[in-house]
Structure 1
Amino acid sequence: MEYGGFWRRLGAFVVDVVLMLPVVATVVYWGLPKSQFFLMYWLIPSIAINVAYNIYLVKRWGGTPGLLAFKLRIRMLDHAPVTLKAAAIRYSVLLVLSTLAAIGGIIGSLHIDEAAYFSLSTPQILAELARLQPSWSRVTGLVMQLWLYGEFICLLLNKKRRGQQDFMAGTVVVKAHSLAAREAALASPAP
């Protein structure tokens, strides 16, 4: 079995960011100036989008669009299709950290005077949110960055190129052609 290497996994991560960032940025840039409570209203839809992208698509197709574009599939250690539980565990750390960061942004938005809020441009609102978020929210952002860096460092340190999330969930990322060859060999009758 050929495992997904560092560069393919990094490329897949970049593709996923490039796909999601414009959507999220557009919604946030549109919504922030409209309501001081926008981040509160956006919390549940943003969690749902993240769950759909990083858990449902992984369970349904064996990977996010980035992984699929790089011909990689997430599988269980025994090479069975990834389970819903494993997909949820794989994404659990980033889901919790991103939700906490969002809650920090909500708290920051509630500390801005309403009249002052509507006098600010979107970049100014974002700067105020960063300034007024609780200190634990800043720590959450740092922990999220460290988790992501650690994920890629971990890939370099083991033969199967498993990241922290793979160890937690009992998964491995494999090259699709290798998986297809294995499945074809298992399906063919023995001579």
Structure 2
Amino acid sequence: MDVIQTSINGVVIIEPHVFNDSRGYFFESFNQREFEEKVCKTIFVQDNESKSSYGVIRGLHFQKPPLAQSKLVRVVKGAVLDVAVDIRKGSPTFGQHVAVELTEENHRQFFIPRGFAHGFSVLSEEVVFQYKCDNFYAPQYEGTVAWNDPDLGIDWRIPIDKAVLSEKDQKTPILNNAYLLFDYSVDLYK
């Protein structure tokens, strides 16, 4: 796998080595040893999958310590714009985001470390989206940040009148009013 650094330290794009032939393709979607050598020492404990239609925006979600989560995400069918937002108070990149298009054709994966809010918008007619988490889901530690916070400046590439949101995601605070944010000086992997 090739690891592409982004503008925010720790947030990376992973490109697998894809082997194509007349039968189709093959690639290794995850290798724990290589991931720890090239990206981060963590162990994924839960795999999730969602199916969504065009215009769905999910996010921006996170979990607070002691059950903070890293996520390794990818698209199996369709296309999304995937977004990671730095919500570590005191971080030099606090409030900044990285956005990457993940598609069934490019096979890219996106690693969102602990201390970041995560979301995605569905760009295709339908998407099947998979993500690995390095901590179990714990609703009592869940937090959200408004997907449309003007200070974040995220272009979700979906017209506002086509955006489809959950009730929860329609009622989230902007980053400056959010609670349960992270402290940049704390190592979230200890």
Q: Normalising by the residue count of structure 2, what TM-score does the alignment of the two structures yield? A: 0.26
Q: Which is richer in helix?
A: 1
Q: Which is richer in strand?
A: 2
Larger Rg, first or second structure (1 or 2): 1
- Which structure would you say has the larger RCO, counting Cα contacts within 8 Å and 6 or more residues apart? 1
